[in-house]
């Protein structure tokens, strides 16, 4: 789950984050979104795990999907409701206890805030929350350590192979991967990986 220092950082920067990364013209991750949606049945039930300001949850609703959105930040949850009309349950990652409920789980650069020691258990929770064959999208930053950025946010970094191995160990089958480079809220350009898998 996100720690207090990370949540405090997002509380201070929630509006700036939403304005910078939740705009309709931000199409950088459209291919990832389309690949994920293509794996879902019409009207499928999706969990947006760590939904932030709600832009992806809103797009899923527009596509006719039923969306459950969660985030550990009350400030992000408030923005999702204010800007997109998306109600968000304020909850940490380890509050996920559903079993066989979702057709898909979207964890777009959210689980990277979980300590490496907790990560396998979170993947297990996601796997059990999915219906058999359910789709999983996860975005993570590449690296080999954990620590904080200058804003105080905690990050855990992984290698692509390491992430794939952890997903397989949790019961997932890898569907595809994509690497890219992007600038985040802290201003630096970092390499990331998107992995699409199914339960």
| 65-122 per-position pLDDT tens digit | 999 999 999 999 999 999 999 999 999 999 999 999 999 999 999 999 999 999 999 9
Domains along the chain with CATH numbers = 4-198 (3.40.50.150)
Return d(Cα 148, Cα 67) in angstroms, integer.
31
Task: Tell me the two tokens of residue 149.
Answer: 């950025």
State residue 116's pLDDT score: 96
State residue 184's pLDDT score: 61
The pLDDT of residue 187 is above 70: no
Q: Are strands 102-108 and 45-49 parallel, antiparallel or unpaired?
A: parallel
Return mean pLDDT, the chain: 90
- Sheet with 173-183: list strands edge to edge: 88-90, 66-71, 45-49, 102-108, 130-141, 189-198, 173-183
The three-state secondary structure class of 9 is helix
Cβ count near 165 (within 10 Å): 13
Q: Are strands 146-148 and 154-156 parallel, antiparallel or unpaired?
A: antiparallel
Q: Is the pTM of this model over 0.75?
A: yes
Average pLDDT over residues 187-191: 74
| 110-155 per-position pLDDT tens digit | 999 999 999 999 999 999 999 999 999 999 999 999 989 888 889 9
Return d(Cα 32, Cα 47) in angstroms, integer.
16
The answer for residues whose C-beta is within 8 angstroms of residue 82's C-beta and 6 or more apart is none
Return d(Cα 69, Cα 76) in angstroms, integer.
11
């Amino acid at each position: 789950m996100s720690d207090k220092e990370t949540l405090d950082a997002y509380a201070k920067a929630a509006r700036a984050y939403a304005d910078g990364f939740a705009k309709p013209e931000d199409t950088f991750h459209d291919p990832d979104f389309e690949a994920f949606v293509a794996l879902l049945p019409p009207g499928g039930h999706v969990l947006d795990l760590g939904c932030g300001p709600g832009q992806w949850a809103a797009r899923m609703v527009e596509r006719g999907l039923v969306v459950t959105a969660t985030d550990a930040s009350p400030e992000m949850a408030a923005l999702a409701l204010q800007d997109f009309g998306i109600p968000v349950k304020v909850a940490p990652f380890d509050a996920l206890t559903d079993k066989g409920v979702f057709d898909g789980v979207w964890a777009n650069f959210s689980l990277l805030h979980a300590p490496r020691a907790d990560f396998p258990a979170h993947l297990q929770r996601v796997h059990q929350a999915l219906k058999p064959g359910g789709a999983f999208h996860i975005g993570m930053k590449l690296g080999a350590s954990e620590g904080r950025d200058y804003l105080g946010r905690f990050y855990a970094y992984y290698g692509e192979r390491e992430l794939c191995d952890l997903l397989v160990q949790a019961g997932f089958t890898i569907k595809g991967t994509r690497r890219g480079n992007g600038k985040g809220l802290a201003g630096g350009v970092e390499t990331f990986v998107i992995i699409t898998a199914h339960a």
